[in-house]
Amino acid sequence: MEVIIQPIPEAATAIALRAVADLLRKKPNAVLGLATGSTPLLLYNALTAMDLDWSKVTTFNLDEYVGIPAADSCSYHSFMWQNLFSKVNIRRKNVHIPDGMTNDIPGHCEQYERRIRDAGGIDLQILGIGREGHIGFNEPGSSLASRTRIKTLTERTRKENARFFKAPATVPLHVITMGIRTIMEARVCMLLAFGAKKSRAIAAALEGPITSMSPASILQMHPRAKACLDTLAASRLKHLEYYRSVYDHKPKWQKAEIF
């Protein structure tokens, strides 16, 4: 895994921004895997300010709450349309987000996997990380070979997400999430993490053992995974100075080559 450490979130986001922009220019029909939450907001805001053509782009979101209608302000459907899709020229038919209101969750999950395969697979997967090391909503203990499925949220995750709901009790208990094996099949995985509150999870994921108790640790096995961190998120890494040296001394051609 390539570890890229920048002083502030905006600088770390700029690395991911360049990767997405480079991909869309080189491959207009690219397939993007997208995350929600506060971490990728800087990226999405920056993307909407760029003159990029999204007309042939296909997207697949990582997850959605079960029992929350797409039109609900707390849904990830609403989040994505408000913060990205409504501001670019993407075609609605090319946007894929799990349906939290489906009457057949197993069937819907199988269909979601099939649609990813039919699209040719995900070129670039954007990821955030939870404080306990989850990617998507693959909570600690999730199978490292998992596919898109229903998952039960931990109480800690529900408490962290309560700020987006009217009351803690209204945070759903279940979600539909892309599985870890599905995430790992993306051609490039780009993990974003900012702030001291993510530092323990980042240290475990990047330098700890590969274990289902730290789901993000599986990214150590990905051939083209990149972690874009700010200084606070990277503060617990043992090899901090080495990561900085590696990035600072990369040949210019290698630093510019994302794909």
Residue-wise pLDDT tens digits, 115-173: 999 999 999 999 999 999 999 999 999 999 999 999 999 999 999 889 889 888 899 99
Q: Is 0.85 surpassed by the pTM of this model?
A: yes
Handedness of CA 116, 120, 125, 130 (dihedral sign): positive
Q: Which residues of the chain have pLDDT under 50?
A: none
How high is the pLDDT of residue 250? Answer: 87
Give the start-end residues of each E strand in the chain: 2-6, 31-34, 58-61, 63-65, 95-96, 124-127, 149-152, 174-177, 188-193, 225-230
Domain 7-189+209-214 fold: Rossmann fold (3.40.50)
The pLDDT assigned to 147 comes to 98
Q: Which amino acid is at 87?
A: K
pLDDT confidence of residue 146: 98
Q: Is beta strand 63-65 parallel, antiparallel or unpaired with respect to 174-177?
A: antiparallel
